[in-house]
Amino acid sequence: MLRLVEKCYTLFVLKGRALVLFASDVLLAMLQQTATHVTATVLALVAFYLSLVSTSLPPTTYERDQVDKAIQLLADRGFSDEVFLLKGTTTFRRTDHWLNAFVEKENAYASTNFPFQIVTVYSDFFSKAADDTERAMILLHEARHLMGENENEAYSYVWRHREQLGWSLESHGTTESFVTIEQQTREAAPELFNCPEKAWEDCTE
Ligand SMILES: [Zn+2]
């Protein structure tokens, strides 16, 4: 009787070990399959990113210099998170890649592909923007897209931080870009212009 119990116990232990081995095999197979899927996804994303970069042109030396000056201005004004993204994670282009050709652009200054961190700067960025501050304002908007923010959030952020940036009605109110961006901000972030008691109904005044 004792032997029988012992035998049964042994069988139970053996069955338990077999179950553990089976479970570990299943777990290993699942991990291998997950790793395969992750690798395939990463490779697909890298291929997609390379296709975007390879079908567009980088800025010229002069244009890159203009971009760098605008980023430095953002650094000087305390926008450290945005500067980190623009300096450390962004690939700048001067022409549209194949994907941008299918996307309706919000304005003619720049566009951003999140999460691929590609910022395309168009000719208006260099010619219509009046100075480095206006170019910094445009990059500040794009940097908010680099964080995943939508148009409402990006326009709203720039408008609420225009004094910190040094881009205000007093300093730039007569430029074409200021008039254009204010109008676009009123359309994209109407909640900022819902204060009748403030000048121009602008809640940030
Ligand atoms: Zn935008």
Q: How many angstroms separate the alpha carbon of residue 200 from the centre of ligand 1?
A: 23
Q: How many angstroms separate the alpha carbon of residue 180 from the centre of ligand 1?
A: 13
Residue 182 is predicted with a pLDDT of 96
| 160-199 CB burial, b ≥16 within 10 A, e <16 | ebbeebebeeebbeebebbeebbebbbebbeebbeeeeee
Q: How many angstroms separate the alpha carbon of residue 33 from the centre of ligand 1?
A: 39
Q: How many angstroms separate the alpha carbon of residue 64 from the centre of ligand 1?
A: 20
Residue 161 is predicted with a pLDDT of 98
Q: How many angstroms separate the alpha carbon of residue 86 from the centre of ligand 1?
A: 15
Note the pLDDT tens digit of each residue in 104-163. Answer: 765 689 999 999 999 999 999 999 999 999 999 999 999 999 999 999 999 999 999 999
19 pLDDT more than 90? no
Cis peptide before 190 (omega within 30 of 0): no
Q: How many angstroms separate the alpha carbon of residue 29 from the centre of ligand 1?
A: 44
CA distances 88 to 17, 52, 58, 141, Å, are: 51, 19, 16, 17
Residue 163 is predicted with a pLDDT of 97
Q: How many angstroms separate the alpha carbon of residue 69 from the centre of ligand 1?
A: 21
Distance of alpha carbon 80 from alpha carbon 78, whole angstroms = 6
User: What is the pTM assigned to this prediction?
Assistant: 0.83
DSSP string, 59-72: PPHHHHHHHHHHHH
Stronger pLDDT, 156 or 18, i.e. the higher one: 156
**Helix (H, G, I), strand (E, B), or coil: what is residue 93?**
strand
Q: Which two tokens stand for residue 130?
A: 């009046």
Q: How many angstroms separate the alpha carbon of residue 142 from the centre of ligand 1?
A: 6
Q: How many angstroms separate the alpha carbon of residue 54 from the centre of ligand 1?
A: 23
Q: How many angstroms separate the alpha carbon of residue 71 from the centre of ligand 1?
A: 17
Q: What's the mean pLDDT in 190-201?
A: 94
Q: How many angstroms separate the alpha carbon of residue 47 from the centre of ligand 1?
A: 25
Note the pLDDT tens digit of each residue in 176-191. Answer: 999 999 999 999 999 9
pLDDT band at 21 (very low <50, low <70, confident <90, very high): confident
Residue 66 is predicted with a pLDDT of 98
Residue labelled with tokens 């730039």? 172
Q: How many angstroms separate the alpha carbon of residue 97 from the centre of ligand 1?
A: 17
Tell me which H or E stretch contains 120: strand 118-121
